[in-house]
Chain A
């Protein structure tokens, strides 16, 4: 149980285009989903927190107009990288959790984005 999927697993796009990444909780309802970015040989950095039906909360330094997050249902959140540039190339990982103080975050397998 508690499986989180991401699609696509990897994507290559041209500079200036937009890319959408999906995060799905397959066997549970996720009241909260998190989006992380991980550059090569670095740690996971939280980008934003999204709660179903409400606007995402972005971490300091993350441009909300560039990284659009939609959490329209309890099983799906999407991250759209708008007007992507080579410096946006990274490993994007989502996690999902249910309510509760000790709720575990279940991580997806990640999406490798390469912007050329």
Chain B
């Protein structure tokens, strides 16, 4: 199935550092979403972006919907140990299906 390219694949950082990850696609999406998944659990929505160029924040998280509608990035500022997990981007085409296409994921490890 189709997947979005997400980078980096993994990150190992110190507590307090800022983190940036991005997601690119060959297709246009109407909505970009960022999820966090803890081991053995389902993904949890962090941020949803609905408009090209949109920049949205949720606490220490900031995400942007690329102007071309083919990419998005997520920044986490001042990382803390509980930020550890796998982060996935997802594109949604809109219309009747609401189908999500997920990125390949970024594993984040934060050392106290």
Q: List the interface of chain A (C-beta within 8 A of B).
A: 4, 32, 34, 42-46, 49, 59-61, 91, 93, 95, 97, 101-105, 107-110, 112
Would A34 and B1 be within 8 Å (CB), given that A43-B105, A108-B42, A110-B42 are in contact? no
Q: CB within 8 A of A43: which of B44, B88, B98?
A: B88
**In the complex, B112 has a CB within 8 A of chain A:** no
Contacts of B103 in A (CB 8 A): 43
A46 to B2, CA, bound (A): 9
Q: CB within 8 A of A46: which of B1, B30, B43, B48?
A: B1
A-B contact count (CB 8 A): 55
A112 to B40, CA, bound (A): 8
Interface residues on chain B, size class: 20 to 34
A107 touching B98 by the CB < 8 A rule?
no
> Nearest residue in A to B105 (C-beta to C-beta)?
A43
> Nearest residue in B to A44 (C-beta to C-beta)?
B102
A103 touching B3 by the CB < 8 A rule?
no
B43 touching A44 by the CB < 8 A rule?
yes
Q: List the interface of chain B (C-beta within 8 A of A).
A: 1, 3, 30-31, 40-45, 48, 50, 88, 94-95, 97-105
Contacts of A44 in B (CB 8 A): 43, 88, 102
Contacts of B44 in A (CB 8 A): 107
B45 touching A43 by the CB < 8 A rule?
no
Contacts of A95 in B (CB 8 A): 42, 100
A107 touching B99 by the CB < 8 A rule?
no
Contacts of B43 in A (CB 8 A): 44, 93, 107
B98 touching A45 by the CB < 8 A rule?
no
